[in-house]
Amino acid sequence: MNYREQYDYWLNNPYFDEETKVELKNIENDEKEIEERFYKELEFGTGGLRGIIGAGINRINRYVVGKATQGLANYLLKEVKDAKNKGVVIAYDCRHKSAEFAQTAALVLNANGIKAYLFESLRTTPELSFSVRELGCAGGIVVTASHNPPEYNGYKVYGEDGGQIVPAIAEKVIEEIQVIQDYADVKVMDKDQALDKGLLEIIGEEVDKKYIEKVKGLVVRKDVIDSMKELKIIYTPLHGTGNMPVRRVLGEIGFENVMVVKEQTEADANFSTVKSPNPEEHEAFTLALKLAEENGADLILGTDPDCDRVGVVVKNAEGKYQVLTGNQTGALLIDYLLSSMKEKDSIPENGAIVKTIVTSRMGEKIAKSFGVETLDTLTGFKFIGEKIKEFEENKDKTFLFGYEESYGYLAGTFVRDKDAVIASMLICEMAAYYKSKGMTLYDGLLSLYEKYGYYQEDLVSITLKGKAGIEKIQSILENLREHTPKNIAGKAVKVFRDYKSSKGIDFITGEEEEITLPKSNVLHFTFTDESWFCVRPSGTEPKVKIYFSVMGESLKDSKDQLETIKGAVMELIQ
């Protein structure tokens, strides 16, 4: 069916409820909106669905969620042994329709004979990952759109290992979803019936407690926390799920001076105090900065709505508050964790750090100085989770830390996704350690720059919405493939890697390389001085992302180099 036929089908089919039909009736004279909602199905992309809430096949709603869950149920029954009894655990965040979508998913699973463990109220994404493993489930679902704007929601799927499903599994789930041609073929059970049959189980505090205890077990230097318990910490959950677990962990390990941004503690699907609930955006810290300045805080933390990312603000050399990048926080954590392990002579011979290909190489350089290997994955924490699983199966490496530039970090292996609860705890402990030495985290960062080089990174995102936007994003990537630049802003490109073709070439030597990572629409350019930039479409938003990294002889030198390369690359792209 074309988009008009799909629209008429939804409008006239008695299967769809009256609320849906009223919404569709309201756009009957807006041909562009009808096309946008029905020209394609919402893609089951990087681990699941993410889209604007609304009626239509290219929107997220309970029918699309139900269809996706029916496909997932069919996959689990075919591919996972004893999936019915193992069940699936489901969590959700504070967004519009999250609780409804979570219950829809549970009742579809129940109708297929699969047990569902549904959290009683909103929970973090990392706790969902933990719960899959703790409860021995066949998989997990979390309803969240992470840091997207309020009009979005999403649906992420997790495997038995607690990690987001990787492409090979996602493809099988997609095949099962595509088999379903009629929404009426989606099975749904009545909630009371599901409870009576024991197919639906509501969970909460018991799992929370086990998760919190595991997090607290990752404390590195309890003596430092005890001596620096008055560290002044400002925390904002940005209206999301982090409020309970982050505050609980920090309090239980001994920090006594944690102040919360009151206006942002309540769950709010509209994220009414911020333009975007994203700790990568400096504006998100406006209220937290005001509170910090009033109280002379040492540190500010902000977590996104599903609490898998955390942003950090610290005092710089002039005593002013400065937002750290994800790369800077990652480098600090690697140095802190490895130096602490070295003091105890506990770095394993086969220890490994895992990062993504768009993450700074500064952390890799730090790890190397401790004799620790760093492995790269494609963008997406699911690939880091996959590496942990490989390490355990092959018994060849020991996972020490995983991180990505977009504010995602993980220590420990009881969670298989980025975890802002764990990261918040370790960042506060690290700040306490530096304070015990008479230093701030920013002082610590400067000391790392002096030792390892002045790395600077940046990210430019270009939003291109709708059908035309998708086509434009593809044309940008294809143009760079067809007209590969070999010199930009006076810097020679040494290595060009195309992760879609799995090919790399060294323009200096002429040598070619085979890329062993999964195919992905990503282009990576490395200059002769090891600076680099990378271009990729976002997997969750209508954006093309351009990443930049340089290393200079001073902060000014590296910042100047960064601006030069950024200007030249953006001129090329635009």
Domain boundary pick from 165, 180, 206: 206
Based on the fold, state whether residues 440 and 527 are members of the same structural domain.
no
For the chain, what is the domain count?
Answer: 3
Residue 498 CA to residue 514 CA, distance in Å, equals 10
Among candidate residues 296, 309, 324, the one with its CA nearest the CA of residue 238: 309
Q: Which residues of the chain have pLDDT under 50?
A: none
Distances (CA, A) of 260 to 144, 311, 468: 23, 15, 42
Question: In the 8-state DSSP scheme, what is residue 161?
Answer: T
Quick one: 273 and 417 in the same domain? yes
Last residue of a domain, one of 152, 176, 206: 206
Q: Which of 561, 498, 557, 497 is nearest to 526 (CA)?
A: 497
The torsion angle over the Cα atoms of residues 18, 20, 21 and 27, rounded to 10 degrees, is 150
Q: Which helix (H) or strand (E) holds 237?
A: none
Same domain, 132 and 253: no
| pLDDT at residue number 468 | 85
Catalytic residue list contains 501: no
User: Which residues share a beta bridge with 462?
Assistant: 544
CB 48 within 8 A of CB 155: yes
| Domain final residue pick, 452, 467, 501 | 452
- Predicted confidence at residue 160, as pLDDT, reads 97
Residues 266, 408 within the same domain? yes
Size of the chain, expressed as the number of residues it contains: 574
**Amino acid in position 509:** T
252, HSE (Cβ side, Cα atoms, 13 Å): 17
Q: Note whether residue 347 is domain-resident.
A: yes
Residues 448, 458, single domain; the answer is no
DSSP 325: P
The two three-digit tokens of residue 254, written as one number: 């001994």
Token digits of residue 71: 């496909």
What is the spatial distance between Cα 445 and Cα 73, in angstroms, rounded to a whole number? Answer: 48
Nearest to 522 by CA among 484, 481, 493, 488: 481
* pLDDT in the model for residue 46: 60
Question: Tokens at residue 279, please?
Answer: 């700790």
24 in a structural domain = no
Residue 350 belongs to domain with CATH number: 3.40.120.10
- The helices-and-strands tally (H runs, E runs) of the chain is 20, 23
- Paired strand residues for 505: 496, 512
For residue 403, what are the domain limits? 224-452
440 and 472: one domain? no
Q: Catalytic one among 98, 131, 146, 424?
A: 146
Reduce the DSSP state of residue 386 to 3 states and report it: helix
